[in-house]
Amino acid sequence: SVSPAAVTGIPPVGDPLASMPAPAITAACSSVNYPNPINGGVTLTISGGSCYNVTINGAKNHVTLSPGNFGNVTINGSGNVVSLGAGKYGNVSINGSGGTMTFNPGQFNSMVDNGSPIEVFNSGVYVITNGSLVLNGANGSSGSGVTFYLGPNAGAVTINGSNSASFGDNLTAPGSGSYAGVLIFQDRANSNTITMNGSNSAVLNGAIYAPDAQITMNGNNSLTSTCDILLAASFLMNG
C-alpha cells in the first residue's frame, strides 16, 4: 500500500541533479603483498604508499592503515578492529564477525561485507570504480556527511540478509558541498540495479540518484527515507 495515495496524471519533470558533477577516478597502483603475517592479537600501523595487499587473519587484531595507496584488503576472523585511512584501495572484503571497521573517504575498486562488524563511515565521498558495494548479513552502519558514488564501470549496490542498519540508522548525506543531500550517486552510465533483498530495515538520510538504473526491493523490506529525491529509471517492489 502507498500512503498518501499516489497522484497521477502529472507531467514529467527534468532531472533535478543533471548538473551534479561525477567524482574523479584515477588509476590504481600496482600492488604487492604485505610481507608480515597478521594472524591474531597483533597491533600495528601500516604505512600508506607502498600499495600493499593486506590480509588480516585470526582474532582481536588492531590494525590501522595510514592514509595513502593500498591494494586489496581482506579481513577474516573475529573481533578485529581495523581502520582504513583516506586514500586509494583495491578490493575491500570483510568476512569475519564482530569487531569494528572504520572507513575514511577514498577510491575503492569494490567494497564487499560478508561479515558482521560495526561499520563507521567518516564524512566524505566513497568512490567505487570497478566492483560492487555489497552488504550481506547483520550489519550496523553509521556515519554523517557521506556519499557513495558508483562509477560508470562499477557494479551495483546490493543489500542482502537481515540488516538492522543497512545504509543505517545514522548514515546521512552531506549538508553542504558538491554532493549536499546525496547519499547514493550511481553514475548516469551505470545501469546496474540497486537491490535490497531479505529482511532489511533501511533508513536512508539523503537522495538516492540512479538515473539509468532500477531500484528493486525484494522480500520483507522496510524503507524509511528522509531524502528529497529518489530518482531512477524504474522502481520495483516484490513481496
Angle at 74 between CA 210 and CA 196, to 5 degrees: 30
β-sheet bridge partners, residue 58? none
Alpha helices in the chain (DSSP H): none
Categorize the per-residue pLDDT at 20 as very low, low, confident or very high, splitting at 50, 70 and 90: very high
The three three-digit cell numbers of residue 18, written as one number: 543533471
- Average pLDDT estimate for 209-231: 79
Rounded Cα distance between 195 and 102, Å, is 24
Categorize the per-residue pLDDT at 116 as very low, low, confident or very high, splitting at 50, 70 and 90: confident
Range of weakest confidence among 18-32, 43-57, 214-228: 214-228
pLDDT recorded at residue 169? 47
pLDDT recorded at residue 170? 65
The three three-digit cell numbers of residue 196, written as one number: 535490497
The three three-digit cell numbers of residue 214, written as one number: 532500477
Q: Which residues contact 162 (CB under 8 A, 6 or more apart)?
A: 137, 138, 198, 199, 200
**Interval 121-173: pLDDT, tens:** 999 999 999 999 987 655 567 889 999 999 999 999 987 755 554 454 467 99
**Interval 41-87: pLDDT, tens:** 999 999 998 899 999 999 999 999 999 999 999 999 899 999 999 99
Categorize the per-residue pLDDT at 222 as very low, low, confident or very high, splitting at 50, 70 and 90: low
Range of weakest confidence among 65-69, 211-215, 234-238: 234-238
Q: In residues, how long is the chain?
A: 239
Q: Is the pLDDT of residue 105 over 70?
A: yes
Categorize the per-residue pLDDT at 12 as very low, low, confident or very high, splitting at 50, 70 and 90: confident
Sign of the CA dihedral running 34, 123, 201, 108: negative
Rounded Cα distance between 63 and 210, Å, is 35
- Over pLDDT 90: what percentage of the chain? 64
Rounded Cα distance between 239 and 235, Å, is 14
Q: Is the pLDDT of residue 177 over 60?
A: yes
**Interval 87-103: pLDDT, tens:** 999 999 998 888 899 99
Average pLDDT value for the chain = 88
